[in-house]
């Protein structure tokens, strides 16, 4: 078995399809906390997210981009069809904007049900 080092792990993750990468990172993020020593008085967790910004200018204008929009990636349903991260919406419990490959997902922040469009 090849020795694991940061470079080999990074190269492996970089080559994965987005859906597999998201699933692996979500499993890791569920098991790790950014500030475990503060867990008694502070809820904290890692989460996977996307950031998008649209080009708003025309061809002959100077390049102008919209503000960044951040969305958390909801847990992937292994049984559902895989259409990429095409579904989006808001968690009704914590208000986090989320994306997923399915319409019914789990919020990665508060673990609430999220119904996406």
Distance set, CA 7 to CA 1, 2, 16, 79 (Å): 16, 12, 15, 32
Residue 22 located in a structural domain: yes
> In total, how many domains does the chain have?
1
- Neighbouring residues of 110: CB distance < 8 A, sequence distance ≥ 6: 91, 93, 94, 96
Residue 13 located in a structural domain: yes
Residue 1 located in a structural domain: no
Task: For residue 32, give its domain range.
Answer: 6-115
Residue 36 located in a structural domain: yes
Residue 93 located in a structural domain: yes
pTM confidence score: 0.63
**Per-residue pLDDT tens listing for the chain (117 residues):** 467 899 999 999 999 998 889 889 989 998 999 999 999 999 999 999 988 899 999 888 889 999 888 888 887 556 656 666 778 889 899 888 888 877 888 888 888 888 888
Residue 60 located in a structural domain: yes
Element (H, E) at 48: none
Query: Would you state the pLDDT for residue 74?
Result: 80
Task: Work out the burial of residue 87: count CB atoms within 10 Å of its CB; fewer than 13 is exposed, 13-18 middle, 19 or more buried.
Answer: buried
What are the E-state strand segments in 4-117?
A: 49-52, 69-73, 87-90, 97-100, 104-106, 113-115
Query: Would you state the pLDDT for residue 1?
Result: 47
Query: Would you state the pLDDT for residue 24?
Result: 92
Query: Would you state the pLDDT for residue 29?
Result: 93
């Amino acid at each position: 078995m090849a020795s694991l080092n940061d470079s080999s792990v990074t190269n492996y993750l970089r080559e994965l399809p987005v859906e597999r990468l998201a699933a692996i990172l979500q499993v890791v993020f569920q098991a790790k906390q950014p500030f475990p020593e503060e867990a008694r008085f502070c809820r904290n967790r890692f989460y996977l997210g996307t950031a998008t910004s649209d080009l708003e200018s025309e061809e002959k204008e100077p390049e102008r981009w919209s503000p960044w929009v951040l969305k958390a990636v909801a847990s992937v349903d292994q049984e559902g069809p895989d259409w990429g991260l095409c579904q989006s919406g808001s968690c009704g419990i914590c208000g986090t904007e989320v994306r997923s490959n399915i319409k019914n997902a789990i919020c990665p922040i508060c673990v609430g049900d999220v119904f996406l469009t």
